């Protein structure tokens, strides 16, 4: 599927598109029947380990999202 196949998507602003992506991702995430590939588990374990080593390193999702939305509106 291409964005051109979705009526009206090209008229959305960048912040609106980001909200749409977030809504779609939330919908996909709620589908418990999706299998989790082994490499996904490995990446998640590595990320969790890095966080546990230094929980103050990096940014929260709320901070990242705010920065992205701010950049999109500039």
C-alpha span between 74 and 70 (Å, rounded): 6
Higher pLDDT pick, 21 / 3: 21
Check if the beta carbon of residue 24 is closer than 8 Å to that of residue 31: no
* Contact in structure between 72 and 15 (CB atoms under 8 Å): yes
- Residue 63 pLDDT: 93
- What's the confidence (pLDDT) of residue 1? 82
pTM over 0.95: no
The predicted pLDDT at position 32 comes to 67
Question: pLDDT for 4-62, tens place per residue?
Answer: 888 999 999 999 999 999 999 988 887 767 788 999 999 999 999 998 999 888 888 99
Instruction: Report the distance separating Cα 45 and Cα 43, nearest Å.
Output: 5
């Amino acid at each position: 599927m291409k964005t051109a196949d979705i009526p009206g998507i090209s008229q959305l602003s960048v912040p609106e598109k980001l909200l749409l992506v977030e809504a779609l991702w939330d919908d996909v995430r709620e589908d418990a029947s999706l299998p989790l590939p082994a490499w996904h588990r490995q990446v998640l374990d590595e990320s969790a380990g890095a966080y546990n080593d230094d929980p103050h390193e990096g940014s929260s999702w709320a901070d990242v999202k705010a920065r992205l939305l701010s950049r999109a509106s500039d």
